[in-house]
Structure 1
Amino acid sequence: MNLIKTLIFDFGDVFINLDKEGAMANALEIFEVDTFPEELTHVNCRYEMGLITTKAFLEFYATKFPNLTQGTILHAWNCILRDFPKHRLAFLKKLQAEKKYNLILLSNTNELHIDWIKNEIPFYEEFKSCFNRFYLSHEINLRKPNSNIYEFVLTENNLTPSECLFVDDLKENTDSASKLGINTWNINPETDDVTQLFDVNKRLF
């Protein structure tokens, strides 16, 4: 018997590859700091939740680091984004065509990153259209791993937690979802691929 009715996917390091370590190393270098300041982390989170505009976000960094050009700041912000392997899109399109599962995207992301992806990933709209619901943190003003983002998705779509499988690369995110009774797969971008979903989680299917 199929236990899972809804598949909830993260975006970064599930479909599109990220360079988290490289982006952090680059940021520390251009901002000339040894550790990432709490103030910047706070502003980044607020921006990711859509609580400040892109204009205000860039103005904050320009004021904080007056020696940096806007181009340098934008590069530092976007250099985390890498390639989107086409075989993952093919996997998703097959899932959509089979119509066995309710497909939801749930991503912590922001306007600048989505704008970059729209410009650089030619099949972004095709990707987006595969999902029944497409939630970006800056559009819903909620952010993982806060439990209210999962509660929002469950309520909005009238879902039973035990009938959902949530795929995310960050353990803090899957741990938070697990506490609500959602099945999770904490995918490891170094060793796993989302196309292995049914092999790795066969106990649920």
Structure 2
Amino acid sequence: MIKNIIFDFGDIFINLDKQATYKEMAKLGVTKISDEMIAVYHQYEKGLMTTDEFINFYHDKFGIKKEDLVFAWNAILLDFPKKRLDFLKDLAASNKYRLFLLSNTNDLHIKWVQSSVGEEFYNEFKNSFEQFYLSHEINFRKPDSEIYEFVLNENNLIADETLFVDDLKENTDSANKLGIHVWNLIPEKDDVTELFIKNKTN
């Protein structure tokens, strides 16, 4: 029986355009993603680098204006449909499951989200979860197994009683290896509001 549900954030609750940042960076003259850039991104996403250090890396390396970089970086983030918030609030109010958020989210992105949806909407979202885990605050990132072990251990969760919902197969595969039940939600085909239609939770 499922007693706990762990949700991802991007393309689960908030819609993403995963190519938008690449397109915006290309407009700024950055057309190739190097191993160094990926390493810096992972460091930033794990909170091992400050926002200023992250922005300065691109500014110094490519001569990009800092405000242009922030715009490009946040271009991936789209809208947050209210029906998904309503679904989550109803689920939380039912008290049937322990709810958790587990997201690879960096400081720039979460600040954009807070500003975009507004304080009341954001707080209603955050307060629907027992714990709200963002990668840059806990120094882990998916799909590393350590992040799932951290959530399980911190909250005394049993893997076989836990469902993890994420849009990336590499993330659900990693969690599933630990015995966690998973739903690899496919954006534009699935919607989180269909959770109980597409998954067995008992």
Normalized against structure 1, the TM-score is what? 0.95
Amino acid at match of 2:73: W
Q: Which residue of 2 is the match for residue 159 of structure 1?
A: 157
Matched, 1:36 2:17: no
Output aligned runs, 1:86-101, within 5 Å. 86-101=82-97
Q: What letter matches 1:15 in structure 2?
A: F
Q: State the 1:133 CA deviation.
A: 0.5
1:117 aligns with one of 113, 119, 135: 113
1:31 and 1:179 map into 2 onto residues whose CA distance is 40
* Residue aligning to 1:184: 182
Please state how far the C-alpha of 1:30 moved relative to its aligned partner. Answer: 2.0
**Which aligned segments of 4 or more residues in structure 1 are displaced greater than 4 angstroms?**
none
The offset of 1:157, in angstroms, is 0.4
**Equivalent residues in 2 for 1:69-84 (5 A)?**
69-84=65-80
Q: Deviations along 1:127-178, whole A, 9 cap, x unmatched?
A: 0000000000000000000000000000000010000000000000000000
SS in 2 for 1:20: coil
Matched residues in 1 for 2:138 and 2:9: separation?
Answer: 16
Structure 2 contact 30–62 (Cα < 8 Å) conserved = no
Equivalent-residue separation in structure 2 for 1:185 and 1:9 (angstroms)? 10
Distance 2:18 2:25 in 1: 11
Distance (whole Å) between structure 1 residues aligned to residue 164 and residue 49 of structure 2: 28
Q: Name the counterpart of 1:16.
A: 14
1:196 aligned to which of 176, 185, 194: 194
- Structure 2 partner of 1:133: 131
* CA–CA separation in structure 2 for the residues paired with 1:6 and 1:151: 14
Give me the whole-angstrom Cα distance separating, in 1, the residues matched to 2:117 and 2:39.
29
State the AA in 1 paired with 2:46: M
- Give a deviation string over 1:86-134, Cα, whole Å, max 9, x none: 0000000000110000000000011110111111112111100000000
Residues in 2 aligned to 1:70 and 1:84: alpha-carbon distance in whole angstroms: 26
5+ residue gaps, structure 2, are: none
Q: Give the Å deviation of 1:21.
A: 1.8
Q: Give the Å deviation of 1:41.
A: 1.0
Identify which of 153, 159, 167 aligns with 1:169.
Answer: 167
Q: Secondary structure at the match of 1:127?
A: helix
SS where residue 102 of structure 2 aligns? Answer: strand
Separation in 2, partners of 1:32, 1:131:
38
**Alpha-carbon RMSD:** 0.9
Overall identity of the aligned pairs, in %: 57
